[in-house]
A and B are shown apart, each in its own frame.
Chain A
Amino acid sequence: MAILTVKNLSHHYQDGDMRRYVLKDINAAFEQGKFYAILGQSGSGKTTFLSLLGAMDTIQEGIIEIAGTSYAKYDANAIRRNLIGMVFQSYNLIDYMTAVENVLVAMSITERELPKDRRTVAYNLLDYLGITRTKADRLVTRLSGGEQQRVAIARALATNVDIILADEPTGNVDESTETEIIEIFKMLAHKHNKCVVVVTHSQTVANEADVILTLRKGGFTQNE
Chain B
Amino acid sequence: MNLYQRALASIVRRIPKTLILLIIVLILGNIMLSSLLIVQSVDETKEAMLRELPPIVSLSMDFQKYQELLEDGVMDIPWITFEDLENIERAAGDYIKSYDYSMRSGLQTDSLQRVEQEGGFSFSFGRQTFNCNGTQIPMFTALETGDAEIIEGRTFTEQELEQGSPVVIMSKELAAENDLVVGDTFTLECVISTFGADFQEIVLDTIYYDFQLIGIIQYKSLPAQEESSGGMFGGFDLERERLNNLILPNRFIRDYNTKWMEAIGNYYGGGGGGFQTADYNPLSSVPSFNYVLNSSEQFDQFVRLSETVLNNELYVFTSQEDNFKNVAQPLESMRGILNYVFYITLGSSVVVLALVLFAFARDRKKEIGIYLALGERKARIILQLIMETVAVGLVGAALAVTSSTYLASVISQLMLPAQPVEEAPSFMMMESVLAKIDYASIMQSFNIGLDLPTIIYFFIAIILTIIVAQLIASVYILRFDPKKIMM
Residues of A within 8 A of B (CB): 47, 50-51, 56-57, 77-82, 86, 88, 92-97, 101, 104-110, 155, 167
Closest A residue to B14 by CB, please name it. Answer: A96
Question: Does A82 lie within 8 Å of B375, measured CB to CB?
Answer: yes
> Quick check: is B424 within 8 A (CB to CB) of the other chain?
no
Question: Does A57 lie within 8 Å of B374, measured CB to CB?
Answer: no
CB-contact partner of A57 in B3, B367, B483, under 8 A: B483
Closest B residue to A79 by CB, please name it. Answer: B375
Given contacts A78-B375, A88-B487, contact A97 B370 (CB under 8 A): no
In the A-B complex, the 3 residue pairs with the closest CB atoms: A81-B375, A80-B375, A56-B483
Given contacts A77-B376, A81-B376, A110-B375, contact A92 B369 (CB under 8 A): yes
B6 vs chain A, min Cβ distance (A) = 7
Given contacts A92-B370, A97-B1, A108-B2, contact A77 B14 (CB under 8 A): no
Question: Does A86 lie within 8 Å of B1, measured CB to CB?
Answer: no
Question: Does B6 lie within 8 Å of A105, measured CB to CB?
Answer: yes
Since A57-B483, A107-B1, A108-B1 are in contact, a sample of 6 more A-B pairs with Cβ atoms closer than 8 Å, ordered by chain A residue number, is A50-B487, A51-B483, A51-B487, A95-B367, A105-B374, A110-B375
CB neighbours of B10 from chain A (8 A):
96
Question: Does B486 lie within 8 Å of A92, measured CB to CB?
Answer: yes
CB neighbours of B486 from chain A (8 A):
56, 88, 92
Which of A50, A51, A155 has the most B CB atoms < 10 Å from its CB? Answer: A51
What are 10 A-B pairs at a CB distance below 8 A? A78-B375, A80-B373, A81-B376, A86-B373, A93-B370, A94-B367, A96-B9, A101-B9, A105-B1, A155-B374
The interface size bin for chain B is 20 to 34
Bound-state CA distance A51–B5 (Å) is 30
Q: Main SS of the interface on chain A?
A: helix
Bound-state CA distance A23–B370 (Å) is 26
CB neighbours of A86 from chain B (8 A):
373
Question: Does A106 lie within 8 Å of B374, measured CB to CB?
Answer: yes
Closest B residue to A139 by CB, please name it. Answer: B13
Bound-state CA distance A94–B5 (Å) is 14
Question: Does B9 lie within 8 Å of A56, measured CB to CB?
Answer: no
CB neighbours of A92 from chain B (8 A):
366, 369-370, 373, 486
CB neighbours of B9 from chain A (8 A):
96-97, 101
Given contacts A56-B483, A88-B486, A92-B366, contact A109 B13 (CB under 8 A): no
CB neighbours of A93 from chain B (8 A):
370
Question: Does B366 lie within 8 Å of A109, measured CB to CB?
Answer: no
Bound-state CA distance A96–B370 (Å) is 13
B198 vs chain A, min Cβ distance (A) = 105
CB-contact partner of B375 in A51, A57, A101, A109, under 8 A: A109
B449 vs chain A, min Cβ distance (A) = 42
B380 vs chain A, min Cβ distance (A) = 8
B372 vs chain A, min Cβ distance (A) = 8
> Quick check: is B482 within 8 A (CB to CB) of the other chain?
yes
A13 vs chain B, min Cβ distance (A) = 12
Taken residue by residue from 342 to 375, chain B's Cβ proximity to chain A (1 for < 8 Å, 0 otherwise) reads as: 0000000000000000000000001101111111
CB neighbours of A47 from chain B (8 A):
487
Closest B residue to A110 by CB, please name it. Answer: B375
Taken residue by residue from 10 to 54, chain B's Cβ proximity to chain A (1 for < 8 Å, 0 otherwise) reads as: 100110000000000000000000000000000000000000000
CB-contact partner of A80 in B3, B367, B374, under 8 A: B374
> Quick check: is B90 within 8 A (CB to CB) of the other chain?
no
Bound-state CA distance A77–B13 (Å) is 28
Given contacts A96-B10, A97-B9, contact A77 B375 (CB under 8 A): yes
Closest B residue to A152 by CB, please name it. Answer: B370
Question: Does B370 lie within 8 Å of A109, measured CB to CB?
Answer: no
Bound-state CA distance A97–B2 (Å) is 13
CB neighbours of A107 from chain B (8 A):
1
Bound-state CA distance A118–B15 (Å) is 28
Question: Does A104 lie within 8 Å of B1, measured CB to CB?
Answer: yes
Bound-state CA distance A94–B374 (Å) is 12
CB-contact partner of B13 in A78, A96, A105, A167, under 8 A: A96
CB neighbours of A77 from chain B (8 A):
372, 375-377
Closest B residue to A158 by CB, please name it. Answer: B374
B365 vs chain A, min Cβ distance (A) = 12
Bound-state CA distance A110–B370 (Å) is 13
A92 vs chain B, min Cβ distance (A) = 5
Bound-state CA distance A95–B376 (Å) is 18
Closest B residue to A93 by CB, please name it. Answer: B370
Taken residue by residue from 465 to 487, chain B's Cβ proximity to chain A (1 for < 8 Å, 0 otherwise) reads as: 00000000000000000110011
CB neighbours of A109 from chain B (8 A):
371, 374-376
CB neighbours of B483 from chain A (8 A):
51, 56-57
B381 vs chain A, min Cβ distance (A) = 10
Bound-state CA distance A167–B5 (Å) is 30
A135 vs chain B, min Cβ distance (A) = 18
Closest A residue to B380 by CB, please name it. Answer: A109
A11 vs chain B, min Cβ distance (A) = 12
Which of B373, B374, B377 has the most A CB atoms < 10 Å from its CB? Answer: B374
Question: Does A56 lie within 8 Å of B487, measured CB to CB?
Answer: yes
CB neighbours of A96 from chain B (8 A):
9-10, 13-14
CB neighbours of B5 from chain A (8 A):
108
Bound-state CA distance A104–B9 (Å) is 13
B409 vs chain A, min Cβ distance (A) = 41
Bound-state CA distance A108–B13 (Å) is 20
CB neighbours of A81 from chain B (8 A):
374-376
A46 vs chain B, min Cβ distance (A) = 10
